[in-house]
Structure 1
């Protein structure tokens, strides 16, 4: 056997038996877009809500529903419903009605230390609508004086056409914002 033919044949057999040279597949995998799958992006986002503090419901306003909701877009209406609870130590957050609307939630006077809380606020970027969910909690023991629970917050005037307000998961009211 010719030595010149033996060496390349032996090398070929050796490489084949060892699996050949190791290669890493660094070729990026192409991502295909399957149009048969109807995937839609989540259009919900967080609604920018700025809580307002330092206010109370004026005595001439009688709240009779378990929860009463307001959407206020001007300072005259706001000032006719709410008074400032100014002390030496607190800061009054004044809404800018040029760029914001105020959402207010209140309930009748109670002796049971009740709080109203915003549990979630979302905006649907496709329909330009918003949803706000509120919950309440109260102390079990009756207090010596009554309070009128109040929650105030401002949201941007960004063309929201419909704002749905919920008590827990139950739709309470729907506001149609002015254009």
Structure 2
């Protein structure tokens, strides 16, 4: 009698763990099929940006806008805008204009220690366009000298046609890459 009771209890546990009888519900199948059909490829991705260190805006360049953006595709234009800030300890990152273009952001000279930073950079794989979001932060105390804030970075040449450049969430300009 004890073995029959144990056997019955085991069968009940087995049925409970399997969820009882199987259902064949057409609505459940439709949901599963809808989910499978709505799978979409991720069209966005991260833009490969390499910050370039060791440069300053040449004194002959007068920046008037709050944030000015440049897209540079050749060494002559790059060298006309930026000087090399070489010290004993720093490494100068030189862009490869054969495989890269340079994006630069600068502001007018200021006595407040201001830093321009790239907050995010994304690419749309479907349109091959990109977005770059910049932020600028300043110190509260005034310095006895002025500096021209600068951010310089390179991105790969991949047939990209335009780069939307934002200051925070506000569109500042669209840079167009020449084919």
Q: TM-score, structure 2 length as denominator? A: 0.83
1:15 Cα deviation after fit: 8.0
CA deviation vs aligned residue, 1:87-112 (integer Å, no higher than 9, x gap): 11111000000000000000000000
CA deviation vs aligned residue, 1:113-162 (integer Å, no higher than 9, x gap): 00000000001111111000000000001000000000000000011111
Structural mapping, 1:28-177, within 5 Å: 32-34=32-34, 38-177=38-177
CA distance in 2, matches of 1:18, 1:149: 77
CA deviation vs aligned residue, 1:27-77 (integer Å, no higher than 9, x gap): xxx994316974433311110000001001111111000000000010010
- Rate the CA distance shift 1:87–1:19 in 2: closer, same or farther, 3 A: closer
Give the total of aligned pairs.
Answer: 166
Residue 3 of structure 1 aligns with which residue?
none
CA distance in 2, matches of 1:135, 1:87: 27
Matched, 1:22 2:49: no
Larger Rg: 1
CA RMSD of aligned residues (A): 2.6
1:18 Cα deviation after fit: 3.0
CA distance in 1, matches of 2:133, 2:87: 30
Residue 5 of structure 1 aligns with which residue?
none
Q: Where in structure 1 are there 5+ consecutive unaligned residues?
A: 1-9
Q: Where in structure 2 are there 5+ consecutive unaligned residues?
A: 19-28
**Structure with higher helix content:** 2
CA distance in 2, matches of 1:18, 1:62: 87
1:86 Cα deviation after fit: 0.9
**Structure with higher strand content:** 2
